[in-house]
Amino acid sequence: MKKFFFAIIAVISFSLSTWGQTADNPVLMTVAGKPVTRAEFEYAYNKNNNVEGAVENKTVEEYVDMFVNYKLKVAEAESQRIDTMSSFIQEYRTYRDMQLTPHLVWQSFIDSVARSLYDKQAERIAGRDLIDCSHILLTLKQTDSDEVKKMVEKRADSLYNVLCNGADFAQLAQNYSEDFGSASRGGKLPTIYPGMTIKEFEDVAYTLQKGQFCKPFLSPVGYHIILVHDRKQLDPYDTLYPTIIAALKRQNIEEASANARIEKMTAETGKTREEILLATLNDLEKQNPDLKYLIQEYYDGLLLYEVAKKRVWDAAAEDTNGLKEMFKKNKKKYRWTEPRYSGYIVCGKTADVAKQTAKKLKKGLPEGKTMSAFLKETVNKDSVMVMATGPYLAKKGENSTIDNLCFGDKTRIIKPVRKGFEQVVLTGRRQKQPKSYLDVKQQVLTDLQQELEEAWVKELRKKYTFTIDREVLKTVNNHN
């Protein structure tokens, strides 16, 4: 299995690294031994430069360094053999195949499925009508007593009599039908055809003409009254074709057709699925140069994500000492311009239980304990008497209850967590400045990640070689 993965990656890597190297598309740079053509660089530069704020409208010269760093990280990921992981290969292939699928759609396959569905439906209907109808249902259980059954029968007869006197069927269905799914639609049901519903219902429905409603009748689920809105024959295939195709597309028929086409090609040529997809990709890239760079971008992006997650993002998040040190070195940077409320909001059924809970939460939740578990162990042993939310670290304007009770803004409303828990108190403190990195964790984390990122890039620039052809660089976006 490993040999198989390595073989596939070798094919992919060769395919990606040799794309488009021609006299009209010279190599612009070589990073860690891999060439990057001018066209690939132009694709990345132009795409990112057209996204507002993505590269801050950098010049080509300014963007080169960013691009080199990007490729160095990809090289590092490959050196760690991330590209040989089965999870990576699977995710890459999924994306690649998604880009290729529209070009492999097998329309004759889709049409055959559509025709088969229509023919099966026509066979099932066997020349009978399709019925558009509504119903009113009064439910009965098989275990209901005779007395209950008679009572339900009388109710059904009563509704029938009201209908006979001109009452609106849809309104009665909304008010009285116990088929709640259709009742909200005035009793409207999906189109009925033979074999779709229970026999007792079908037998009666097919005796009615357009505009007729029936007397109450009993089925295994209760008493029904049916109103037929319309009856018609199944439309011809050509008429229904667009509707069938639209429904099939919603069920991913195009992807299924592409897979069927690939299976047919493997049977006819003896090639593997992967060989066929790579050949398809090779053909398509000649017609659509941007497609190859789009897939290359995703390939590199997957590698970059995995290696950066490990080296920068997770490393920073897990480095408690590093976060503490970053906070200590940059306290002035993290200073607040206005105070925060740090603590919990407690809502009790009584003032006493709210105050009692606030006192217990004064020092915060015990480590590893959830709020619900803590409250159940302390004040909600027999019944729920109090609810609490938090911890909060909120400045004025972020929470109405905190604004009122902590910052004294009586124009703001005190909002209980739930109706019935109207006694609201705060348990915490008004804090002028952050006490630890935890109070400004996201800012500190971002700064530590940036520090690790910069150190990592320096390491990579020492570890790997790279060259840039400055003459080719001058021709970026400036050639025929």
**What are the strands of the beta sheet with 34-37, ordered from one edge?**
34-37, 27-31, 466-468
Q: What is the pLDDT of residue 456?
A: 97
CA proximity to 197, closest of 98, 131, 126, 263: 131
Cβ within 8 Å of residue 212, ≥6 positions away: 227, 228
Q: What is the pLDDT of residue 5?
A: 33
CA–CA distance, 301 with 26 (Å, rounded to integer) = 23
Q: What is the pLDDT of residue 22?
A: 65
Residue boundaries of the structural domains of the chain: 128-232, 340-432
Written as six digits, the tokens of 253 are 């028929």
pTM: 0.67
CB burial string 347-377: b at 16+ within 10 A, e below: bbbeeebbebbbebbeeebeeeeeeeebbee
Q: What is the pLDDT of residue 19?
A: 43
**Predicted confidence pLDDT, tens digits, the chain (480 residues):** 333 333 333 333 333 444 455 668 899 999 999 999 999 999 999 988 776 555 457 889 989 999 999 999 999 999 999 999 999 999 999 999 999 989 999 999 999 999 999 999 999 898 899 999 999 999 999 898 999 999 999 999 999 999 999 999 999 999 999 999 999 999 999 999 998 899 999 999 999 999 999 999 999 999 999 999 999 999 999 999 999 999 999 999 999 999 999 999 999 999 999 999 999 998 998 888 888 899 999 999 999 999 999 999 999 999 999 999 999 999 999 999 999 999 999 999 999 999 999 999 988 888 888 999 999 999 998 899 999 999 999 999 999 999 999 999 999 999 998 889 999 999 999 999 999 999 999 999 999 999 999 999 999 999 999 999 999 999 999 887
Written as six digits, the tokens of 280 are 């398809």
Q: What is the pLDDT of residue 4?
A: 33
The yes or no reply on domain 128-232 and CATH 3.10.50.40 is yes
